Amino acid sequence: MRPTAVGTPVDRADARSKVTGTACYTVDVVLPDLAHAVVVQSTVPTGRIVRIDAAAAERAPGVLGVLSHANTPSLAEVPTFPQGPAGQRRPPLQDDTVNFDGEHLAVVVADTLHHAAQAAALIDVAYDREEAVTTLEAGDELPPSGIFGEAPDSVRGDPEAALARAEVRLDATYTTPTEHHHPLEPGATVAAWDGGRLTLYDSTQWVSGVRDAVAMTLGMATDQVRVVSPFVGGAFGSKAMVWPHVVLAALAARHVGRPVKLVLSRAQMFTSLGYRSPTVQRLSLGARQDGTLTAIVHAVTQQTSVFEEFVAGAGYISRSLYACPNVAVRHRLVRVNAPTPTVMRAPGEAVGSFALESALDELAAQSGVDPVALRLRNFAEDEPQEGLAWSSNALRECYQVGAERFGWERRTTEPRSMREGRHLVGWGMASATYGVHSEAAAARVRICADGRILVTSGTQDLGTGTYTTMVQVAADALGVPVERVTAALGDTDLPPAPHSGGSQTAASVGPAVWSAALDACSKVLALAEQGDSYAEILTRHGIEFVEGRGDARPGASASRFAMRSFGAHFAEVQVDPELGEVRLTRFCGVFGAGRILNPKTARSQMIGGIVGGTGMALTERTVTDRRLGRVVSPNLSGYAVPTHADIPWIDVCFIDEHDPHVNALGVKGIGEVAIVGVAAAIANAVHHATGRRIRDLPITPQTLL
Ligand code: MOS
């Protein structure tokens, strides 16, 4: 590839439309005769519905219809990820059972949102309440049946014997709370029927997943459903799978014979799109006196709902991040009267790394080895679990470059030894890693006689920069400036592409766009004499446009190499010794993630991940009332995400990494590696500042004082 556009900080293709407000998100969609749906949710964690009285709601002004289990047709189950695209297998409004507080029980449709909300408040539900398990600690542990096709438990070597023999031993339990994604745009669907055909505008990470799930649920042919999602106001995993409100919008529209918009409220976001399960992680480390790891045992307990299983493999990071001959990983689940959890940015690694990277810091302190030196000492030359060679691994450079940029050598070893005025200052660091993923994807590139070039693919841009990077890839493949190229995405009428999760979009769709562009180019050149532009050639032949098609799929290298991205995080905190307030004052993240298509949008992604990790460390926690099994303060003051005032300038750096094995573009993906290890780096900095080891997130003034 001639690197002209790729690798340069091209401005976002969709920047102007977003800044000026012309970008149409799902919540902005307006159709003629549009009606509005409001969801009514359960207020008990478990039991039976004795009665749903909708009479008052049905008589209320503007009401067009009410759906509940009493009048909802039978719906088919859709398997959950990765067997199918559903976030929750159990379809909504099918019977009188309630499995968690906040479960959808009814939908009210009215001519205006105000009327729908007013009527929804009039729905009267009587329950026969049963005994609920409302916390992870209160239930029985059971082994999951599998974790995305992997065994939940694994052992290499003899960890117990190695622990018994270890010169340095550490045994600690780390806990993380329920976390919610809280994208700015809530879950939202607009459904419009045209005879037997259904069009859905949906805020989603997976247009074709929505199409397939809704078609399956309603017993329709896939080609009778079209899903459109040109802009998504954030997702972080909450829109990676298809949740019940999407099909409710379709049912509501059919019920009232009008297009319907259904937007979840912020409070409903706590129970409608999954969440990150809380974890209890026991970590045992064995090491030689010099810090060389000899044993890791990582045992994780997470929760799932009472009616189905979801588990993210929080312990897996301990198998592959460091060289260690004896490693055991174990996952257990507890069934709780709560919604089914789901993926959330770096599912598994984000929380697993908090335990592992905190424990490494504890080991560094115990063995008197600098935290960076300790990690370099345990660097894995090959992937330790499978024994495969890395396709590329820039972790050592990440440590070195990060330490240099941050000034790590000026760190004094002792806790409480650095101060700024009356504040305690702490420096901490952690490693990051995330797998390289890709799936089959298709794209088309059209070269027009007027010189314009159009890229199309049924992928989606979550705000990550897909519109921009796909334009860059096509521009370079064709040797034209980016200004000539536009992209259309987020529509199931376009060539199929996978879900935008697992940091896989650039690595999956990029190679498809590249090959579609080359295909289009060769079609023009077949007509050509030397030296003319595409437009001149097409015009001379009287051809309006040519179209190239590209299909890309994961290559055979995936079985020969271990493919991961890596990074290193360095954090500085200042702690107020009287108030216990922790402020992040400096942060540096360095990443080896293959080719960076656009350093501007990529930097923005990494900042987002680091901000997410800062929330994990310091503010984010969903609190559930044990007795009621209900989220306490379901709003953005009850659940605090970091704001601008909480975040310092963040130094982001990418190692120039050329990986010939991952895919044709050398792209590894960046969305998720950014958050992995951030919470540990901050917790380690808090320890350095205060001497207090906090093993329970988030680190609040209450925990520190
Ligand atoms: Mo991402 S949590 O894989 O949508």
pLDDT given at position 528: 81
Is there a shared CATH topology between the 31-131+184-234+239-272 domain and the 154-179+275-436+560-704 domain? yes
Q: At what angle do helices 599-618 and 678-690 cross, to 10 degrees?
A: 50
Spatial separation of the C-alpha atoms in residues 60 and 39, rounded to whole Å: 16
Q: Return the best residue to mutate from 343, 461, 505 for the ligand 1 pocket (most ligand atoms within 8 A of CB).
A: 343
pLDDT given at position 520: 98
Q: Return the best residue to mutate from 345, 459, 616 for the ligand 1 pocket (most ligand atoms within 8 A of CB).
A: 345
Task: List the chain domain ranges.
Answer: 15-23+439-553, 31-131+184-234+239-272, 154-179+275-436+560-704
Q: How far is the CA of 284 from the centre of ligand 1 (A)?
A: 28
Strands of 423-435's sheet, edge to edge?
Answer: 418-420, 423-435, 564-575, 582-592, 650-654
Ligand 1 atom nearest to CA at 240: 4
Q: How far is the CA of 252 from the centre of ligand 1 (A)?
A: 29
Ligand 1 atom nearest to CA at 344: 2
Q: How far is the CA of 237 from the centre of ligand 1 (A)?
A: 4
Q: Which two tokens stand for residue 251?
A: 């049912």
Does 698 sit behind a cis peptide bond, omega within 30 degrees of 0 on the bond before it?
yes
Question: Where does residue 701 rank: exposed (0-12), middle (13-18), buried (19+ CB within 10 A)?
Answer: middle
Q: What CATH architecture applies to the domain 31-131+184-234+239-272?
A: 2-Layer Sandwich (3.30)
The pLDDT mean for the chain works out to 97
Q: How confident is the model at residue 529 (pLDDT cuts 50, 70, 90)?
A: confident
Q: SS3 for 200?
A: strand
Q: Which two tokens stand for residue 275?
A: 């969440």
Spatial separation of the C-alpha atoms in residues 597 and 10, rounded to whole Å: 9
Mean pLDDT (whole number) for 507-514: 97
Q: How far is the CA of 96 from the centre of ligand 1 (A)?
A: 32
pLDDT given at position 555: 83
The set of protein residues with a Cβ atom below 6 angstroms from ligand 1 is 205, 237, 240, 343-345, 347, 501-502
| 538 within 8 A of 546, measured Cβ to Cβ | yes
pLDDT at position 510 over 50: yes
Ligand 1 atom nearest to CA at 671: 1
pLDDT at position 533 over 70: yes
pLDDT at position 3 over 90: no
227 has which bridge partners? 200
Q: Return the best residue to mutate from 182, 672, 675, 676 for the ligand 1 pocket (most ligand atoms within 8 A of CB).
A: 672
Spatial separation of the C-alpha atoms in residues 180 and 273, rounded to whole Å: 9
Q: Which two tokens stand for residue 651?
A: 């130094």
Q: How far is the CA of 311 from the centre of ligand 1 (A)?
A: 13
Summarize pLDDT for 129-181 with one digit per residue, the tens.
999 999 998 889 999 999 998 999 999 999 999 999 999 999 999 999 999 99
Mean pLDDT (whole number) for 384-391: 96
Ligand 1 atom nearest to CA at 235: 4
Active site residues: 672
Q: How confident is the model at residue 657 (pLDDT cuts 50, 70, 90)?
A: very high
Q: How far is the CA of 343 from the centre of ligand 1 (A)?
A: 6
**CATH classification code of 154-179+275-436+560-704:** 3.30.365.10
Report phi then psi at 601, rounded to 5. -70, -30
Residue from 106, 101, 74 nearest 90 by CA: 74
Q: Which two tokens stand for residue 659?
A: 């990986």
| 340 within 8 A of 310, measured Cβ to Cβ | yes
Mean pLDDT (whole number) for 198-220: 98
Fill in the amino acid letter for 645: A
Spatial separation of the C-alpha atoms in residues 46 and 129, rounded to whole Å: 6
pLDDT at position 74 over 80: yes
Q: What is the residue whose two structure tokens read 């088919």?
A: 76
Q: How confident is the model at residue 334 (pLDDT cuts 50, 70, 90)?
A: very high
564 has which bridge partners? 435
pLDDT given at position 512: 98
pLDDT given at position 2: 52
Q: Residue of the nearest CA to atom 1 in ligand 1?
A: 501
Q: SS3 for 666?
A: coil
pLDDT at position 558 over 50: yes
Q: How far is the CA of 179 from the centre of ligand 1 (A)?
A: 14
Q: Could you tell me how far CA 294 lies from the centroid of its own chain?
A: 33
pLDDT given at position 109: 98
Residue from 396, 395, 394, 492 nearest 442 by CA: 492
Ligand 1 atom nearest to CA at 346: 2
Looking at the chain, the whole-number percentage of residues with pLDDT higher than 70 is 100
pLDDT given at position 1: 46
Spatial separation of the C-alpha atoms in residues 602 and 612, rounded to whole Å: 15
Ligand 1 atom nearest to CA at 205: 4
Summarize pLDDT for 459-480 with one digit per residue, the tens.
999 999 999 999 999 999 999 9
Q: SS3 for 105?
A: strand
Summarize pLDDT for 574-597 with one digit per residue, the tens.
999 999 999 999 999 999 999 999
pLDDT given at position 557: 78
Spatial separation of the C-alpha atoms in residues 582 and 157, rounded to whole Å: 41
Q: How far is the CA of 486 from the centre of ligand 1 (A)?
A: 26
Residue from 31, 29, 38, 30 nearest 62 by CA: 38
Q: Write out the CATH class of domain 15-23+439-553.
A: alpha beta
